[in-house]
Every structure is written in C-alpha cells, then in structure tokens.
Amino acid sequence: MKQVYVWPPVWIPNPIMWSNYPQAWQQLSWGAFYKNTGIITASCIVGILLSCSMAAYAFARLRFPGRDAIFVTLLGTMMLPSQVTMIPLFMFFAKLGWVNTYKPLTVPSWFGHAFFIFMLRQFFMTIPRELDDAARIDGCSRLGIFWRILLPLSKPALAIAAVFTFTSNWNDFMQPLIYIQSMSKFTVQLGLRAYQHPTYHDEAATMAMTVVSIIPQLVVFFLAQRSLIRGVVLTGIKG
C-alpha cells in the first residue's frame, strides 16, 4: 500500500477520519482493557493513600527508636533506579506464582511509596500539634486523631498523591508488559502495543485509540484541578 506524505505537516487533518475510532474499538477488546486498567489503577490509588498516609503520620507524629534512621533509609530508596530492582522483583513474584496476575501491579502499592510518604509527612508537620492535644484531651485515640483531624485537613495533599498515582498507573507500560501474558488481562497501554505487528503497523487505529486513552486522564485532571492548585498553594505557603 502506497503511503502519501503531506508537506508541510498539518495540525488538524482534513478531512478527519472519524470512522477510525469505531473500527479501532471493534478490532480489540477495548472494553476489557479499560476495565482491567481501571481495576489496577483504583487498587493502587487506595493502597497508596492508606499506606502512605499512615506511614507519614507515624513519621510526623509518633516517636519511636530509630525513626529518623528509618526515614533517611526510606528517602535513600528514591535514588535507586527501577531498572535495578526489575529482575529481582520478577524472580520474587515468579516464585510466588503471581506472573500473569494483577498482584505484582497492585500489591506493592499497599506497602507505601517513598515519595508520597515524604510529601504527606511534610504536609502533616505543617498541621499544628495543638489540634492533636485538644483531641487527646477530649478522649480521641491516635487512630482517631489521624482519621478525624489529619486526613480531613490533608485533602489537597491526598488529591495530589491520588492524581499522580492515577497518571503513573494508567500510563504504565513496562510493568504490565513484564507480568501480563494473556490478552484478556491486557491494560490500555498493552492494547495500544498490540496494533504493532512484526510486518504491519496500524497507525490509524493506534492514533485513534491513543486519543481515546487520554480522555480519562483529562477528566480526572479537570475534576481534581481545584484540589491540585490548592495543595500546591498551601504547600508553598506553609513550607
């Protein structure tokens, strides 16, 4: 098939081939791809918010032996490239029998993330301790202080962590490529890769579904932009 190149390139093609979208959607099981990606992303968001907020509360409010040393070690893990741990993690998850499942993509999120723990810890430290003392006088436990005081006041920071987690997991290609083998379990990014055949590349379908894959990210950004801006402003003022 002869390809025709237009020079100079145009920003918006004329005419727009709207038929590429339904054709590309019907070629593969895109409904299942979106469902799989949504399950993975939602599980990671819940795991990150719970584990990182609890760990950040411990580093910001509790006093225990070795707290500072553990926190410095945690920050040190941020300097470790993911490529270094890729093979050891795969071998570990393979021995657990988690290959071709969503567990390697979701379970690590329930054990915290160094960057989000650091960010939430810094935000918690800007909240006056007098609020904790007042709640403790009223008979509130440490868990109650965390759940009823710190978390409601930290909604902007939690929103930033949720949006960043959503974006990174929705666009993640490498981890699903390593652990997912069945097409029925493919994510959106693996679905886009499925259009690239050894002898043929369906560019029209790839570009059409790439546009469709961006829509959820735009929706999440517009819904959370107020919290994101508020979180950046409050962090700048209190920091």
**Single-letter code of the amino acid located at 39:** I
> Residue 6 pLDDT more than 70?
no
> What is the Cα–Cα distance from 56 to 94, expressed in whole angstroms?
31
Helices 155-170 & 30-61 angle (0-180, nearest 10): 140
For 169, other C-beta atoms within 10 Å of its C-beta total: 23
Q: Please name every residue paired with 196 in a beta bridge, in sequence order, or none if there are none.
A: 201
**Nearest-5° Cα angle at 223, 118 to 18:** 120
Contact 70, 55 (CB under 8 A): no
Average pLDDT over residues 57-72: 93
> Residue 237 pLDDT more than 50?
no
Q: What is the pLDDT of residues 116-148, one digit of tens each?
A: 999 999 999 988 999 999 999 888 888 899 999
In this structure, CATH architecture of domain 29-238 = Orthogonal Bundle (1.10)
Task: Calculate the average pLDDT of the chain.
Answer: 87
Domain definitions of the chain by residue range = 29-238
> What is the Cα–Cα distance from 226 to 108, expressed in whole angstroms?
29
The per-residue pLDDT for 236 is: 46
Helices 30-61 & 67-76 angle (0-180, nearest 10): 150
Q: What is the pLDDT of residues 173-212, one digit of tens each?
A: 999 999 999 999 999 999 998 888 777 777 888 888 999 9
> Residue 228 pLDDT more than 90?
no
Average pLDDT over residues 217-236: 73
Question: pLDDT-derived band of residue 51, with 50, 70 and 90 as boundaries?
Answer: very high
Q: What is the pLDDT of residues 91-112, one digit of tens each?
A: 999 999 999 999 999 999 999 9
Question: pLDDT-derived band of residue 233, with 50, 70 and 90 as boundaries?
Answer: low
Question: pLDDT-derived band of residue 2, with 50, 70 and 90 as boundaries?
Answer: very low
For residue 177 the two structure tokens come to: 């490529």
Q: What is the pLDDT of residues 148-163, one digit of tens each?
A: 999 998 988 899 899 9
Which residue stretches of 62-137 are H helix?
A: 67-76, 82-96, 103-106, 114-125, 130-137
